[in-house]
């Protein structure tokens, strides 16, 4: 099986006894990479997705494997399966996507997590929650450490996602305390790479698509706001290490790249790497958009032996190549892919 995810970091953490692993959101950007790596390691993988943002093309190469099963299902509805491990990656992660149906986003975060936790409690499965740096909101503490409680607007345009993920974390820890479910909670910071959708709406995909198609590159605000960008290979490595860690390590654990860039610097890098003649234009900053975002990964380094390895320029080139391949398809194929 060919894989776009490097195997160099995974061997000591993933090649264990064969397990039956459920990946909720398995057809999405992150989930499809995770499914691929778990299959490559010899596990049986159940990809569960409602395909609201996940794409069948992300997992098409896996269909030939007898160890790979696709279940079209929304985690807002209960599900009965027998599994050893559960990764909960099922939720739109970009503002345009999660804001398009905020009530369903909240249901996915809260009711969906409840359903998967009840499945874990019944089967004895270990379960990992893909939480987010958005739980920190527009932070007053920089860089963000796991002990920081955050600064989140509970009724703003981003709150369906921010507060939904915060509530999901609460559910995870309550199931751990009440039902002794083995939980793992990670807080994911901005992740990018191949298999992002052209209409994803996050800053890396926006800039790359605009540069490749000759559009103006749109920066919201003056471009001085910062983000830390983690390549998908590194993030998947962190998820796997967290799942394999000692039962006593529940989290939350930050997973992200601590190197910080301004949005303006990101735009200039994308223009340079694509050779684009796109101009940079500015638009007003959206409500509740964080001014700074950078993880403190001390805990991940100490407890997981994890740190990101892929430099931004290298990761951007792989992402650009992904979109170049997508855009060179015929128009009908591209329409179906998007």
The predicted-structure confidence for 206-255, as pLDDT tens digits, reads as follows 999 999 999 999 999 999 999 999 999 999 999 999 999 999 999 999 99
Task: Establish if 73 belongs to a structural domain.
Answer: yes
Instruction: State the average pLDDT over residues 310-335.
Output: 83
Query: pLDDT grade, residue 116 (50/70/90)?
Result: very high
Element (H, E) at 281: strand 280-283
| Per-residue pLDDT at 2 exceeds 90 | no
CATH number at residue 52: 3.40.50.720
Report the pLDDT value the prediction gives residue 12, as an integer from 0 to 100. 54
At 320, the pLDDT band (50, 70, 90 cuts) reads very high
Q: What is the pLDDT of residue 337?
A: 43
pLDDT over 90 at 278, yes or no: yes
On whether residue 328 sits in a domain, the answer given is no
| 238 located within any domain | yes
Candidates 98, 161, 192, 220; catalytic one: 161
Q: Residue 306 is part of which domain span?
A: 11-196+230-258+291-310
Q: Give strand pairing partners of 223.
A: none
- Residue 216 belongs to a domain: no
Q: Summarize the chain as % helix, strand, coil (round to 5).
A: 40, 15, 40
User: Looking at the domain assignment, is residue 116 inside a domain?
Assistant: yes
Q: What average pLDDT does range 8-26 have in this prediction? A: 77
pTM for this predicted structure:
0.92
Is residue 151 assigned to a domain? yes
Q: Considering its fold, how many domains does the chain have in total?
A: 1
Q: Give the residue-averaged pLDDT of 263-291.
A: 93
Both tokens assigned to 101: 């149906």
Q: Is residue 140 part of a domain?
A: yes
pLDDT at 338 over 90: no
pLDDT at 1: 34
Looking at residue 214, what is its pLDDT? 95
Would you state the pLDDT for residue 335?
41
Domain presence at residue 173: yes
Residue 200 Cα distances to 192, 193, 194, 204, 316, angstroms: 11, 12, 12, 9, 16
Q: Is 161 a catalytic residue?
A: yes
Q: How sure is the predictor about 283, in pLDDT bands with cuts at 50, 70 and 90?
A: very high
| 72-86, 131-145, 162-176, 278-292, range with the lowest pLDDT | 278-292
Q: Would you say residue 332 has pLDDT above 80?
A: no
> Nearest CA to 57 among 195, 171, 194?
195
């Amino acid at each position: 099986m060919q894989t776009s995810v490097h195997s160099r970091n995974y061997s000591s953490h993933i090649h264990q006894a064969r397990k039956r692993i459920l990946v909720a959101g398995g057809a999405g950007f992150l989930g499809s990479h995770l499914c691929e790596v778990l299959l490559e390691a010899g596990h049986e993988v159940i990809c569960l997705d409602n395909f609201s943002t996940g794409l069948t093309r992300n997992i098409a190469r896996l269909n030939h494997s007898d160890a790979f099963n696709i279940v079209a299902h929304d985690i807002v509805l209960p599900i009965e399966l027998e599994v050893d491990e559960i990764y909960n990656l099922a939720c739109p992660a970009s503002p345009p996507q999660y804001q398009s149906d905020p009530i369903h986003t909240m249901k996915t975060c809260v009711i969906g997590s409840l359903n998967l936790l009840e499945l874990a409690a019944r089967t004895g499965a270990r379960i990992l929650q893909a939480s987010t740096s958005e739980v920190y909101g527009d932070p007053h503490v920089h860089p963000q450490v796991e002990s920081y409680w955050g600064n989140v607007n509970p009724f703003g345009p981003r709150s369906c996602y921010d507060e939904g993920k915060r509530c999901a974390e609460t559910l995870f820890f309550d199931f751990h305390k009440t039902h002794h479910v083995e939980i793992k909670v990670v807080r994911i910071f901005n992740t990018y790479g191949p298999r992002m959708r052209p209409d994803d709406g996050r800053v890396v995909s926006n800039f790359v698509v605009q540069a490749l198609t000759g559009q103006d590159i749109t920066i919201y605000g003056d471009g001085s706001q910062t983000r830390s960008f983690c390549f998908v290979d590194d993030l998947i490595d962190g998820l796997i290490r967290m799942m394999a860690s000692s039962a006593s390590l529940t989290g939350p654990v930050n997973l992200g790249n601590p190197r910080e860039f301004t949005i303006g610097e990101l735009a200039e890098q994308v223009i340079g790497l694509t050779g684009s003649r796109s101009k940079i234009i500015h638009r007003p900053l959206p409500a509740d958009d964080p001014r700074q975002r950078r993880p403190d990964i001390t805990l991940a380094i100490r407890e997981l032996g994890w740190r990101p390895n892929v430099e931004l320029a290298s990761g951007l080139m792989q992402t650009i190549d992904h979109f170049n391949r997508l855009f060179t398809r015929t128009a009908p194929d591209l329409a179906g892919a998007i």
